[in-house]
Every structure is written in C-alpha cells, then in structure tokens.
Amino acid sequence: MNKSELKVISVLERVGGFASAQQLHQLLLRSGESIGLTSVYRALQSLVDDKIVDQLRKDDGEAIYRLCGEAHHHHLVCKSCGSTVEIEGSALEKWAKAMAEEHEYREVGHLAEVFGICPSC
C-alpha cells in the first residue's frame, strides 16, 4: 500500500460513491494533494486487483470506481433511475465456471447484470 493508493482511498471515502479516475484526480488536486493522473490510474488498478475498489462502466464506456470491501459481485440495476445494488454472485460464479469447464474453454470471464425496477421507482 503506497502513498498514491492511500490518497485515492481517502478521496473515495470522501466521495462516498462512484467517481471516474479523472474526477478523482481533479478532486485530489483541488484539495491540495500533489499527484499525477498516471498514479491515480495505477492506484485504482491495483486497488481493483486487490478487491478494495469496485470498478464498473458507464454507458459511454468510461470506468467508474467506488470503495467496496466485498469480493467479486454483480449488480442489480434499476431500469428507471439507474441506481445499483450489489448482489451476491457465488451461484453465478459456479455456474459460469461449470459451463466453461464442460465445454473446455480456457481464460474464462463472464458478464452478468440483473435489471428491474427498484422499490422506490
């Protein structure tokens, strides 16, 4: 855990939700920290790898990040307001793995989202 990662974690705590790498960089600069955009990306990458930060994609493809202590998981996305809830996905992981093994696929990844209308919409 190096300096950049600590800075990024602290700004993510302050934000309390999703933010893009560029936004986080701006916020850090504005609050007086000295850090390069490169280091923000590197820190985020490493935090994502360590499963300290959760990364997903906006519709336009830009990555957004938030703190998340949990293991790999998926989202329940509201079709109406766009709010997301983390959901538990171990059943899904098992399924994806089993399917891939059954057909002898290598380097397997998966993609899953559940859509619906949230209670408040």
CB 18 within 8 A of CB 44: no
Helix (H, G, I), strand (E, B) or coil at 82: coil
CB 71 within 8 A of CB 114: no
Among 35, 67, 68, 96, binds DNA (CB under 7 A): 35
Query: Which of residues 32 and 109 has its CB atom nearest to a copy of itself in the complex?
Result: 109
Q: Interaction with a copy of itself in 53-112: which residues (CB under 8 A)?
A: 55-59, 61-63, 76, 78-79, 85, 87-89, 91-92, 94-96, 99-100, 102-112
Among 9, 15, 27, 37, binds DNA (CB under 7 A): 37
CB 27 within 8 A of CB 7: no
CB 74 within 8 A of CB 113: yes
Does residue 61 touch DNA according to CB under 7 A? yes
Does residue 15 touch a copy of itself according to CB under 8 A? no
d(CA 96, CA 73): 13
From 1, 83, 35, 76, select the one nearest 11 (Cα to Cα): 35
Question: Which residues lie near DNA (CB under 7 A)?
Answer: 2-5, 20-22, 34-39, 41-43, 45, 61-63
Q: Please give the residue ranges that form the binding site for a copy of itself (CB under 8 A).
A: 55-59, 61-63, 76, 78-79, 85, 87-89, 91-92, 94-96, 99-100, 102-119
